[in-house]
Every structure is written in C-alpha cells, then in structure tokens.
Amino acid sequence: MSNITTFSVTSSNRKIDPPRRRGGAFKADGSLNDNDRVEIGPTDIAFNEWAELGLTPPNLTRMREYRLQRIVKELQKRDLGGILLFDPLNIRYATDSTNMQVWVTHNHSRACFVSASGHLILWDFHNCEHLSAHLPLIKEVRGGASFFYFETGDRTDEHASRFASEIQSILQEHAVDNKRLAIDKIEIAGFNKIKQLGIDVFDGQEVMEFARSIKNEDEINAMRCSIASTEVVTYAVKSVDIDLGDFSYAA
C-alpha cells in the first residue's frame, strides 16, 4: 500500500538550515517571511523591483484557492468524480507544488487527485513530503505513483495495479462511488489497470485547459510581476559583453 503522510515542518527537516532563521511574519505575496523556506518564491530583490514599478504581488493563498475552485467547477460541470494529474504543469496549477519538474516530465513519479468536492491528494517522490508542507490545501501526501520501467522494471504491472486499486478506493471515499475519472496523462500500464476496474476515463487535459482559461486578479498580478522580472533580466543580459578569447559573446 502507498504511504499516506500527515507532514509538518520541524527543526529536523528544513531544506537548508534546521534552526529556521525567520525574518518576520509574511512577505508581500502572503508567504512566510522565511529565507530558509522550501517553497520556490521571489526574493526581496524582486519584491523591491515590483514596488518601484508600482506592481502588486499576487496573494498566493487566494490564488491557490481560486485555482482549486476552478478545477472543481469544471469537474462538477462534467459530472466527473475527480481528476488524476501527472503532467507537472497541471500538478503545479492544482497544488502549487513542484519537485524535479524536468525529470518528472519524462518520468511520471508525481501525481495528484482532485475530487469534485475539492479533496486534494498529492503523490510525491519518496522522502519529499516536506516540499509541500507549506500548502494546506493538500489534504494528503502519499507515495507510490511510479509505474514506469526506469523505476519499476519488470514489476511495472504490479505497481500499476496497486495504484489503480488506490484510485478506486479514493473514488469510493471522496466521489460517492462516481467512477467517471478524468486523467491528463498516464503510463499505459496504469491506464489499462484503471480501465480493468470498471472506471470510466475521460480527457483530463480538456478539464485543465478550461479551468485555467479564466484568470483572477492574483494570476494577472503574477503574470505582470513575472514579465517585469523577465524584462529586467533580459536588459541585464543585453548589457553583457564577455571576451572568450577566440569567441566573443555580445547579447
């Protein structure tokens, strides 16, 4: 069975510094003012640049809640019991959680499930539970979503069958036995095992594209801040002139 973890950040599982040197209450985006935090986020340099440009940072708590509500709305509209996500960009949208984004694009070792009632479950790589400890919308953190050859070899079908049974139990508990499940991307073994359990599979990419098609104020603010930071970096790169001997680079 997969591990279900209730996780909290303690002095022994910090990413960088166990004593946790905090600088204050909250940053402008609503996240903890903790330079030793595990979540990816802007530094004071970025916040200061945005303030000088008159930009308002997004409220991350409000943005995360809005995105989850958007997914739930699309699930209910289609009478789906839930959605199972393996695409790291879709997982990020649903949970705001990241881990080895490039690697998991090729190797689907992370997944998340969102029920039509908003129950959110994340499957993360083993020993990585702390990376989402700051995200209260994630109700459960589990392991065991890997069923691809590099990870599970000749036991891929076994692992896929175990995961499919887990999904079946989740639907029974959190979707009132609604067996209509949307999936964005999944390994063939997992797809086959889920279908064998009598679960009806629907296109999860459609659900996610419609969910993210309407942005709220915080998402728009996030895009404006991101564009501003990109322009600052682009301008800095254009001013670079490096002498590499036989090769000269000028942006």
Q: What is the pLDDT of residues 156-198, one digit of tens each?
A: 999 999 999 999 999 999 998 799 999 999 999 999 999 999 9
Angle CA 163–164–167, to nearest 5? 90
Angle at 180 between CA 61 and CA 155, to 5 degrees: 90
Read off the amino acid at residue 223: M
Range 31-215: architecture per CATH: 3-Layer(aba) Sandwich (3.40)
Give the position of tokens 């839930």.
Answer: 82
- Euclidean distance between CA atoms 37 and 60, whole angstroms: 15
Judged against a pLDDT cut of 80, whether residue 250 lies above it is answered with no
Dihedral of CA atoms 95, 203, 89, 118 in degrees, nearest 10, equals: -10
Confidence of residue 7 (pLDDT cuts 50, 70, 90): very low
**Torsion over CA of 230, 234, 240 and 244, rounded to 10 degrees?**
90
Q: What is the mean pLDDT of the chain?
A: 87
Task: Assign 13 a pLDDT band (cuts: 50, 70, 90).
Answer: very low
Band (5; pLDDT cuts 50, 70, 90):
very low
Please tell me whether residue 242 adopts helix, strand or coil conformation: strand
Q: Which two tokens stand for residue 208?
A: 């996610």
Q: Which ranges of the chain would DSSP assign to H, the alpha helix?
A: 44-52, 60-77, 88-95, 101-106, 149-152, 156-174, 188-196, 204-211, 217-238
pTM for this prediction? 0.82
Domain map (residue ranges) of the chain: 31-215
**pLDDT score of 40:** 66
Q: Which of 27-36, 43-52, 225-234 has the lowest mean pLDDT?
A: 27-36
Distance CA 79, CA 90 (A): 20
- Residue 7 structure tokens: 């996780």
Question: What is the pLDDT, as a whole number, of residue 41?
Answer: 75
Q: How far is CA 173 from CA 115, 116, 177, in A?
A: 10, 12, 7
Q: What percent of the chain lies above the pLDDT cut of 90? A: 66
Pick the closest to residue 136 from 30, 247, 211, 14 (CA basis): 30
